[in-house]
């Protein structure tokens, strides 16, 4: 005899899954075309990791990625191979992973319920309602709409899949199921180590199903899971403090404070799940010493609640199991271990992503158990009122989640919403300042936001660093330097700040101290290519260290062969070294190929070609540069000086000098060169006027003093000519042209 068909909702699981997917894309539609947010660029595969060698580094080099999550960053690596930095596909993948998690939760709830002696569910609908709660809950928005949190959606997918397969192993004892469950758990840990909670969570669920736990049947198979979780967890704790920066005064909490914090964290997250109001990106950071009373109350309530559930366990295990699961999945982020994000808040929605399926499953299972127990007394419900109530709650969740997902379109929208909800959010002000600062016209607004961030948290190395960076970008390096130094005082292990401080010191002509900071940045991060390039530039500006600079530039270009600024600055250095003009030309040509419109590169290439004796090539480069930048007086003047090397083209040279002076008449060296060409063209009066103008602009210009003396001598005014030659020698006693001219006229 065949088993009677199950009563209940008639649609198959595939239809339920499609409904969840449709709802998810409707809810998250506003964020699908959103930009990369906050630290997304640090997670999406950066230059240097996009090759096959980069994939190897992701797995085997600490510090290659922001966090040591090789599975996550391998997933990002694969995605980058397909669509590069296009943001929409990353958002779509995140939504699909979130839907997958909702489907896996529904299937897992069904499987676990099927392992009970008396299953609660007569149909698949309640389990799929649990999946819908997970998919539509507003607390999940941060993890789904923010590309960085693919670590949550991906790791949870592996965790739920591992749990599903493990329960198949638990009931059927097939080794292949055990191996697959263990592999999926390994992948979950490699995506985010918050998934270390899986082994104890499995034991809690088994205890709920059976009422007991046996060593041979349950605990022994999970020993390997526990060992793997311990290793992964210990590695993450070390990495957070040693590499990510979760150390210092902000994280110096006593065990008592951490215990009180843990109690507050649990109740906060439970409150947000039950009533998701005022959801925001950064929540206020609690002042733990000042709020000890609140912490004690939360701890007392947690202990009393746990004790009550323990006493009630013989009659009903479900509530205690749900409470243990909820608190257990939150344990890694309760405050007992330092997490970098604690610098801005002890709580965040993405920290409780794993708690949402526990909440969803517990609510649905609890509601079903309650309805089953009350069914004989409440037959008037007919099963429809609970369904309608569930749909209303889901609709409220969905509308709220769609509103929140609309915040995730760009940093300015997201963090304006954040500081509107939490005006004391220093990090919200900090990121908003960075977003605003991308528009040069809004520099002062950006600086004001950084100042506000520093008012809210003075010992804030990030805002000190970024405030300094913005000042430096505005050409205010002197003001930037103290903020860089303050950032390094707070966080000495900060290679980016050492590098930026070095750049600012270069801007104020302190290359020796700049070298020290570039070297420290490289000591802290040996493959920091930008710092290595800047070190080479700094060395090139210190007399006597040019060969050290050459060696560093060669090292940079081995590490980053296509780094255009390094080619340019290496060319500048080589152009100053005897016999290296041809080598300099090669590097300028590479830099110009990468940026054909760069006036600076065109200028250096043109003048270096002249030094290499390649005047026709120099004329081609400088002529093209003037056509691209017709109002650049420097380029026109150098084109004129190069044309002047060819006597037959002197008239063209004079035309370029005249145009350069029309654009900017305040350049003494251009006035001098114009005067020289006029003199050589026998335009004595005009030459005399031009050189006198040069001396008005720069009274100690020795070449101009010498030329004026030559012009005066040609007019027969030897006495005044001697005066100008003597003046040139007073300024520079080694100036030979003036000495020769004096000797020629008898002195």
Q: What is residue 383's predicted lDDT score, i.e. its pLDDT? A: 54
Q: What is residue 571's predicted lDDT score, i.e. its pLDDT? A: 94
Q: What is residue 378's predicted lDDT score, i.e. its pLDDT? A: 46
| 200 closest CA partner among 178, 225, 217 | 225
CA triple 492-497-501, angle to 5 deg:
110
Q: What percent of the chain has pLDDT over 90?
A: 77
Burial tier of 368 (Cβ tally within 10 Å: 0-12, 13-18, 19+): buried
User: What tens digit of pLDDT does each residue of 591-637 get?
Assistant: 999 999 999 999 999 999 999 999 999 999 999 999 999 999 999 99
User: What tens digit of pLDDT does each residue of 646-678 get?
Assistant: 989 989 999 999 999 999 999 999 999 999 999
Is residue 649 a contact partner of residue 633, using CB atoms and an 8 Å limit? no
Q: How far is residue 433 CA from its own chain's centroid?
A: 15
Whether 149 has a pLDDT exceeding 60, the answer reads yes
* Domains in the chain: ranges and CATH: 15-44+85-405 (no CATH), 684-747 (1.25.40.10)
Please report where in the chains the tokens 């199903």 appear, as a residue.
Answer: 209
Report d(CA 157, CA 538) in Å as an integer: 49
Neighbour-count burial for 590-615, b at 16+ CB within 10 Å, e otherwise: bbbeeeeebebbbbbbbbbbbebebe
Q: What is residue 47's predicted lDDT score, i.e. its pLDDT? A: 80
Q: What is residue 65's predicted lDDT score, i.e. its pLDDT? A: 87
Whether 249 has a pLDDT exceeding 80, the answer reads no
User: What tens digit of pLDDT does each residue of 56-111 get?
Assistant: 999 998 888 888 899 999 999 999 999 999 999 999 999 999 999 999 999 999 99
Residues 6+ apart with CB under 8 A from 485: 501
Whether 4 has a pLDDT exceeding 50, the answer reads no
Q: Which of 168-182, 330-344, 412-426, 502-516 has the lowest mean pLDDT?
A: 330-344
Report d(CA 131, CA 156) in Å as an integer: 13
User: What tens digit of pLDDT does each residue of 289-329 get?
Assistant: 889 999 999 999 999 999 999 999 888 899 999 999 999 99
What's the rounded mean pLDDT across residues 457-474? 92
Run of H or E residues at 407: none
Q: What is residue 393's predicted lDDT score, i.e. its pLDDT? A: 92
Q: What is residue 372's predicted lDDT score, i.e. its pLDDT? A: 66
**pLDDT bracket for residue 379 (50, 70, 90):** very low
Query: At residue 630, what are phi and psi to the nearest 5 degrees?
Result: -65, -20
Neighbour-count burial for 481-491, b at 16+ CB within 10 Å, e otherwise: bebbebbbebb
Whether 377 has a pLDDT exceeding 80, the answer reads no
Please report where in the chains the tokens 């299972």 appear, as a residue.
Answer: 365
User: What tens digit of pLDDT does each residue of 467-496 get?
Assistant: 999 999 999 999 999 999 999 998 898 999
Q: What is residue 374's predicted lDDT score, i.e. its pLDDT? A: 59
Report d(CA 177, CA 165) in Å as an integer: 6
User: What tens digit of pLDDT does each residue of 527-585 get?
Assistant: 899 999 999 999 999 999 999 999 999 999 998 898 999 999 999 999 999 999 999 99
| 265 closest CA partner among 299, 240, 239, 237 | 299
Q: How far is CA 183 from CA 37, 221, 231, 269, 560, in A?
A: 32, 14, 15, 30, 37
Mean pLDDT of the chain: 91
Residues 6+ apart with CB under 8 A from 65: 43, 49, 58, 73
pLDDT: which is higher, 412 or 375: 412
Whether 2 has a pLDDT exceeding 60, the answer reads no
Measured distance between the N- and C-terminal CA atoms of the chain, rounded to whole angstroms: 131
Q: How far is CA 577 from CA 95, 547, 742, in A?
A: 58, 10, 33
| Cα atoms in the Cβ-side hemisphere of radius 13 Å centred on 434 | 18
**Hey, CA dihedral for 391, 395, 401, 406, is it positive or negative?**
positive
CA triple 116-119-123, angle to 5 deg:
140
Report d(CA 525, CA 716) in Å as an integer: 68
**pLDDT bracket for residue 1 (50, 70, 90):** very low
Output the six-digit token pair for 707.
Answer: 């030329």
SS3 category, 23: helix
Q: Which of 185-194, 214-223, 240-249 has the lowest mean pLDDT?
A: 240-249
What's the rounded mean pLDDT across residues 366-384? 59
pLDDT: which is higher, 99 or 39: 99
């Amino acid at each position: 005899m065949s088993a009677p068909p199950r009563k209940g909702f008639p649609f198959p699981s595939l239809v339920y899954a499609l409904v969840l997917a449709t709802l998810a894309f409707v809810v998250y539609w506003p964020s699908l075309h959103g930009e990369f947010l906050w630290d997304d660029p640090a997670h999406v595969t950066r230059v240097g990791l996009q090759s096959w060698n980069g994939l190897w580094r992701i797995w085997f080099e600490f510090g290659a990625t922001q966090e040591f999550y090789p599975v996550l960053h391998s997933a990002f690596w694969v995605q980058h191979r397909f669509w590069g930095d296009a943001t929409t596909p990353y958002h779509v993948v995140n939504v699909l992973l979130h839907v997958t998690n909702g489907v896996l939760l529904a299937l897992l709830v069904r499987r676990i319920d099927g392992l009970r002696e008396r299953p609660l569910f007569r149909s698949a609908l309640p389990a799929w309602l649990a999946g819908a709660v997970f998919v539509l809950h507003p607390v999940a928005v941060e993890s789904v709409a923010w590309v960085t949190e693919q670590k949550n959606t991906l790791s949870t997918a592996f965790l739920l899949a591992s749990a599903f397969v493990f329960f198949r192993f638990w009931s059927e004892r097939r080794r292949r199921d055990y191996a697959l469950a263990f592999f999926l758990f390994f992948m979950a840990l490699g995506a985010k180590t918050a998934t270390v909670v899986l082994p104890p969570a499995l034991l809690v669920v088994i205890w709920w199903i059976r009422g007991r736990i046996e060593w041979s049947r349950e605990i022994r198979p999970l020993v390997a899971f526990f060992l793997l979780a311990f290793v992964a967890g210990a590695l993450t704790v070390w990495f957070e403090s040693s590499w990510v920066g979760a150390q210092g005064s902000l994280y110096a909490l006593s065990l008592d404070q951490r215990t009180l914090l843990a109690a507050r964290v649990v109740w906060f997250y439970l409150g947000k799940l039950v009533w998701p109001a005022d959801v925001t990106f950064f929540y206020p950071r609690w002042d733990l010493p000042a709020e000890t009373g609140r912490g004690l109350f939360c701890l007392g309530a947690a202990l009393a609640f746990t004790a009550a559930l323990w006493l009630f366990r013989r009659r009903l295990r479900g509530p205690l199991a749900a409470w243990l699961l909820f608190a257990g999945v939150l344990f890694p982020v309760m405050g007992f271990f330092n997490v970098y994000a604690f610098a801005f808040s002890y709580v965040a929605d993405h920290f409780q992503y794993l708690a949402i399926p526990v909440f969803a499953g517990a609510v649905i299972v609890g509601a079903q158990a309650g309805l089953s127990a009350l069914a004989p007394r409440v037959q008037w419900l007919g099963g429809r009122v609970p369904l309608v109530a569930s749909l209303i709650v889901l609709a409220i969740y969905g509308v709220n989640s769609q509103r929140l997902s609309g915040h995730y379109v760009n940093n300015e929208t997201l963090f304006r919403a954040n500081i509107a909800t939490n005006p004391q959010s220093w990090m919200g002000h900090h990121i908003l300042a960075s977003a605003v600062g991308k528009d040069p016209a809004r520099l002062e607004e950006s600086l004001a936001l950084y100042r506000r961030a520093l008012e809210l948290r003075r010992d804030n190395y990030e805002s000190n660093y970024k405030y300094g960076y913005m000042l430096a970008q505005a050409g205010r390096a002197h003001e930037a330097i103290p903020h860089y130094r303050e950032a390094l005082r707070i966080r000495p292990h900060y290679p980016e700040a050492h590098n930026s401080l070095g750049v600012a010191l270069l801007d104020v002509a302190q290359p020796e101290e700049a070298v020290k900071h570039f070297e420290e940045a490289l000591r802290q991060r040996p493959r920091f290519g930008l710092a290595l390039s800047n070190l080479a530039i700094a060395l090139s500006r210190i007399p006597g260290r040019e060969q050290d600079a050459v060696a560093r530039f060669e090292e940079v270009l081995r590490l980053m062969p296509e780094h255009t600024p390094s080619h340019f600055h290496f060319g500048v250095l080589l152009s100053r070294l005897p016999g290296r003009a041809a080598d300099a030309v090669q590097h300028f040509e590479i830099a110009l190929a990468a940026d054909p419109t760069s006036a600076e590169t065109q200028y250096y290439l043109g003048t270096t070609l002249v030094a290499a004796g390649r005047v026709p090539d120099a004329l081609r480069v400088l002529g093209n540069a003037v056509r691209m930048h017709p109002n650049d007086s420097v380029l026109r003047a150098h084109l004129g000086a190069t044309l002047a090397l060819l006597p037959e083209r002197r008239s063209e040279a004079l035309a370029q000098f005249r145009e350069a002076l029309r654009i900017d008449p305040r350049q003494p060296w251009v006035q001098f060169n114009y005067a020289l060409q006029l003199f050589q063209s026998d335009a004595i009066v005009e030459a005399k006027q031009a050189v006198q103008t040069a001396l008005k602009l720069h009274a100690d210009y020795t070449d101009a003093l010498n030329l004026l003396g030559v012009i005066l001598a040609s007019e027969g005014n030897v006495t005044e000519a001697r005066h100008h030659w003597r003046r040139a020698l007073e300024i520079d006693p080694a100036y030979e042209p003036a000495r020769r001219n004096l000797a020629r006229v008898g002195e």
